[in-house]
Chains A and B, each alone.
Chain A
Amino acid sequence: MDAAKRYFRSPAAVIGLVLLLVVIAMALSAGILFPRDPLALAGRPLVWPFTNPRFPLGTDNSGRDIAAQIFYGSRISLLIGGVATAIAIAIGTLIGAFAGYYGGWVDNILMRITEAFQTLPNFVLLLVFVAVFGSTLTTVTIAIGVVCWPAPARLTRAEFLSLRNREFVQAGRTLGMRDLQLILGEILPNALPPVIVYASVLMALSILLESALAFLRLSDPNVASWGNLIGLGRDVLRVQWYVSAIPGIAILVTVLAVSLVGQGLNDALNPRLKSR
């Protein structure tokens, strides 16, 4: 409970939580507020925001409701951010756990692979994945997850290195527990908190990566994604700049919210680091 109290003492963390709840509320209410397909033609193209009450945020190049796309886009962003982060953390903790627990040549090989992944620019590797496996929502999400695993792997490995010879682990070993039991049942739960806090960074990164791909028209074109809308608005940037401006603000707010919540959690869970 102390942690919760500490969390709500920080105004930045509270603002972040409120913003995140707003985005989640948008995702949940999209289907109720905009029952029609957000990618269906709704009216005249390029209606400016606040000029027609039917389209509070205006329409895009082909006459689709921007407000609807923003609401449905929050679903895509949260979904991709959440799933990609889960994939990255699953792969990362597994590899980091084995590397840190066994050490020696296992550690050596796994860390070499991690290093190779880290040497390659994230986004370039993402392009390779998209070039090979195409760009449906599923492949893009998996690709982002696969590209992001090295950082959590390193974090987990560091935790395992410091935990693997603690007394509770040795006690388990004397009790005759097998390696896998020790790794998953004993050490992992203790190694997870810093990795979970890092998840917010990964989630922010995943959302930004997907929006950049979508902007380049390399993500799934059949979903209402904020990045898609920005890429579309680029064609009419000269005069109708609002088409690109509005979804950009949505991305900014979401990433900001996720980062603030992550920072708040970090400060609440590691009060000793707060002073830094």
Chain B
Amino acid sequence: MRILSLAGRRLAASIPTLFLILIGVFLLLQFAPGDTVDALMAQMGGGDAATARDLRKFYGLDVSVPMQLANYLWHLVQLDLGFSSIYGKPVATVILERLPPTILLMTASLSFAFFFGLVFGVIASRAVNKWPDTLISTLGLIFYATPSFWFGLMAIVVFSIYLQWLPAGGFEDIGQVQSGFWRVIDIARHLILPTLTLGLIFLAIYLRIMRASMLEVLNLDYVRTARAKGLDETRVVTGHVLRNALLPMVTLIGLQAGTMLGGSVVVESVFSLPGLGRLAYESVVQRDLNTLLGIVFVSALLVITVNFVVDLLYARLDPRISAEG
């Protein structure tokens, strides 16, 4: 119950943040040259002033900015994100269609980065300042400095063009319609390279944090006690150290959720995945500001959700937090 009330309070606290973001971005978008109607008219190949006036009235753009903002927020509360003139569909529909690939990509990258970050971090901390530690830490530094889109392109050159093992882009094979098991396999094959590309930089961060946190916990008194009891090293690490060393790693997931979402904009563009990130890019290029605002809203929601889940996880891993909170 304590965890639930903690969770509820955290969620309530994030609502003002959400509104602050929306108001800020909405006002920012007012500086943009032209509006939806201009974009629409340009697409139709021009039109007269009367049509423009009617369209502005239809989209509610004929009232003052504060009124527009109030209207937008009012629609938002009813989960209505407005209409995308470029895609000819409600923004919410467009975003919902594009959400699954992004969530799949983010989950896969996060699991990949977390798991291997944990394993390599533990290995490095067990062999501190010996060659495995040096090797792992050096690789981590290089991964951290590699631009993800460049890594993606090079992976395409090696694995798709020369070795022809994996597809170079797309979410699934459109040529052959598959169903059930084979479709899952097909999508998984398409996601391998994007997952590695997006996950690499986070792998580097996680392994560094895991190594540092393991080293810290390994020096604590209770670990010395466990060793003194005669437990072998594997048992000490898995049974006693890991759980406490994991805490900073879990915190980091929440902090990195936004970065990961931002990274997927680039990675989805490299691998032409039809996800939210690619949609963000397209709506910038096509000046579809309504969709862009919707994406901002959904990304903020996603980050808040991830942080919420992290809080719950944290409370489970460290019971002191829910007791104090």
A131 within 8 Å of B (CB atoms): yes
Pick 30 A–B contacts, CB within 8 A, sort by A: A119-B18, A119-B300, A120-B21, A120-B258, A121-B258, A121-B260, A121-B261, A122-B258, A123-B263, A127-B280, A128-B292, A128-B296, A130-B284, A131-B29, A131-B283, A131-B289, A132-B31, A208-B147, A215-B149, A216-B269, A218-B281, A230-B153, A248-B147, A251-B145, A253-B145, A255-B144, A255-B145, A259-B141, A259-B144, A260-B141
Flag whether B88 is at the interface (Cβ < 8 A). no
Contacts of B148 in A (CB 8 A): 212
Write the nearest CB–CB distance from B280 to chain A, whole angstroms. Answer: 6
Taking a contact as CB atoms under 8 Å apart, the answer to whether A119 and B25 are in contact is no
- Is A54 engaged at the interface, CB distance under 8 Å to the other chain? no
Q: How large is the interface on A (under 10, 10 to 19, 20 to 34, 35 or more residues)?
A: 35 or more
What mask results when residues 15 to 51 of chain B are scored 1 for a CB within 8 Å of chain A, else 0? 0111011001100110110000000000000000000
Q: Does A124 contact B (CB under 8 A)?
A: yes
**In the docked arrangement, what's the CA distance between A126 and B280, Å?**
11
Segment at the A interface, from B72-80, B154-162, B185-193: B154-162
Check: B212 CB closer than 8 A to any chain A CB: yes
With a cutoff of 8 Å between Cβ atoms, the chain A residues found around residue B21 in the complex are: 116, 119-120
Nearest Cβ in chain A — how far from B7, in angstroms?
17
Residue in B17, B215, B269, B289 whose CB lies within 8 Å of A119: B17
In the assembled complex, the Cα of A255 lies from the Cα of B262 at a distance in Å of 19
The answer to whether the Cβ of B142 comes within 8 Å of any Cβ in the partner chain is yes
CB <8 Å contact, A128 and B25: yes
Which of B18, B146, B157, B284 meets A237, CB within 8 Å?
B157
When A and B form their complex, which 7 residue pairs have the shortest distance between CB atoms, in order from nearest?
A: A123-B262, A248-B150, A121-B262, A255-B145, A256-B145, A121-B258, A121-B261
A259 touches B145 (CB 8 A): yes
Interfacial chain B residues near A162, Cβ < 8 Å: none
Complex Cα distance A92/B181, Å?
51
Annotate A202-228 by CB proximity to B: 1 below 8 A, 0 otherwise: 001000100110011010000000010
List, in ascending order, chain A residues with CB within 8 A of B289's CB: 131
List chain A residues, Cβ under 8 A from B113. none
Say yes or no: is A184 at the interface (Cβ < 8 Å to chain B): no
Q: What distance in Å separates the Cβ of B210 from its nearest Cβ neighbour in chain A? A: 13
Q: How far is the CB of B193 from chain A (nearest CB, A)?
A: 13
**Residues of chain B lying within 8 A (CB to CB) of residue A120:** 21, 25, 258, 296, 299-300, 303
Write the A132-153 contact mask toward B (1 if CB under 8 angstroms, else 0). Answer: 1100000000000000000000
Nearest CB on B from A126, distance (A): 8
Nearest-Cβ distance from residue B171 to partner chain A, whole angstroms: 19
Interface contact B145-A124, CB-CB below 8 Å: no
In the assembled complex, which residues on chain B have CB atoms less than 8 Å from the CB atom of A238? Answer: 161
CB-CB nearest in chain B for A217: B285
**Interface residue tally for chain B (C-beta within 8 Å):** 53
Docked complex Cα distance between A248 and B14 (Å): 39
Evaluate whether A276 and B142 lie within 8 angstroms (CB atoms) in the complex, with A116-B20, A118-B258, A127-B284 already known.
no
Residues of A close to B295: CB separation below 8 A: 124
Beta-carbon nearest neighbor of B307 in chain A? A119
Most buried by B among A128, A133, A218: A128
Interfacial chain A residues near B258, Cβ < 8 Å = 118-122
**Partner pick for A112 among B20, B161, B261, CB 8 A cutoff:** B20
With A and B bound together, what is the CA distance between A131 and B291 in angstroms?
Answer: 12
Is A59 an interface residue when CB atoms closer than 8 A count as contact?
no
Give a binary string over A97-124; 1 marks a CB under 8 Å from any B CB, 0 the rest.
0000000000000001101101111111
Task: Establish whether residues B145 and A128, one from each chain, have CB atoms under 8 Å apart when the complex forms.
Answer: no
CA A208 to CA B161, docked complex, whole Å: 26
Residues B145 and A115 in contact, CB atoms below 8 Å apart: no
Residues of B within 8 A of A4 (CB): none
Give the nearest-CB partner of A253 in chain B.
B145
CA distance A115 to B300 in the complex (A): 11
Please judge, given known A-B contacts A122-B258, A124-B299, A208-B147, whether A116 and B280 are in contact too, CB under 8 Å.
no
Residue of A nearest to B150 (CB): A248
Interface presence of A41 (CB below 8 A): no
Chain B residues with CB under 8 A of A252: 142, 145-147, 150
Q: State A256–B143 Cα separation when bound (angstroms).
A: 9
Whether A237 contacts B292 by the Cβ 8 Å rule is no
Residues of A near B55 (CB, < 8 A) are: none
Give the residue name and chain of the A residue nearest to B301 (CB). Answer: A119
Residues of A within 8 A of B54 (CB): none
